[in-house]
Structure 1
Amino acid sequence: MIIVTGYAIAREGAEEEMQRLAIEHVLRSRTEPGCISHEVSRDVQQPRRFVFVERWNDMAALQQHFRVEASRQFAKSLNQLSDEKPELAIYQADVLNLT
């Protein structure tokens, strides 16, 4: 499984637009092949900070997600609305059974 984490900090006054675009992106991404989950939330201590957590079946599914034009446009829009460069980290993970 591939896990993607990231965040973006909205410029002051851009929070609502970032939220609108983030929700659209998450809902669209959830319909893509190989998407296990895709979520966005706002940091309760820093409300202009939007946190993304995604889980994908494999790297091929994530790479396909990155090639979707709407995903590319979302990344550009996120950069334009951000106070600083958004952060992104990608991890390869195995599910552990604790029982």
Structure 2
Amino acid sequence: MIIVTGHVIARKDTEAAIERLAVEHVLRSRAEPGCMSHEVSRDVQQPLRFVLVERWDNMGALQAHFRVEASRTFAQSMASLCQEPPQIDIYEAAAVTAR
């Protein structure tokens, strides 16, 4: 499984636009092959900070997601609306059972 975490920090004047773009991107991504989950939330201590968490079946599915034109447009639009460059981290993970 591939886990992607990231965040963007909106400017006060771009907060609504970032929320709209993030929700559109999440809904679109959830319909893509290999997407296990895709969410966006707000940091409760920093409301202008939007946090994205994604889970993909494998790296091929994530790479296909990155090649979708709407995903590239999303990334470019988000970067133009943020206080600072968006942050993204990608992890390869395996589920474990807690006992």
- TM-score bracket for the superposition, by shorter chain length: over 0.9
Question: After the TM superposition, which segments of 4 or more aligned residues of structure 1 sit over 2 Å from their partners?
Answer: none
Distance (Å, rounded) in 2 between the aligned partners of 1:32 and 1:48: 28
CA drift of 1:33 comes to 0.1
Paired residue for 1:34? 34
Higher strand proportion: 2
SS, match of residue 84 in structure 1: coil
Paired residue for 1:47? 47
Distance (Å, rounded) in 2 between the aligned partners of 1:95 and 1:43: 25
Distance (Å, rounded) in 1 between the aligned partners of 2:21 and 2:49: 14
Paired residue for 2:59? 59
Distance (Å, rounded) in 2 between the aligned partners of 1:97 and 1:47: 33
Aligned-pair identity in percent equals: 64
Q: Which residue identity is paired with 2:46?
A: Q
When the two chains are superposed, the root-mean-square deviation of aligned CA atoms in Å is: 0.7
Distance (Å, rounded) in 2 between the aligned partners of 1:97 and 1:83: 39
Paired residue for 1:83? 83
SS, match of residue 46 in structure 2: coil
Higher helix proportion: 2
SS, match of residue 96 in structure 1: coil
Report the number of matched residues.
Answer: 99
Q: TM-score, normalised by structure 1?
A: 0.98
What runs of 5+ residues in structure 1 fail to find an aligned partner? none
Paired residue for 1:95? 95
Distance (Å, rounded) in 2 between the aligned partners of 1:80 and 1:31: 25
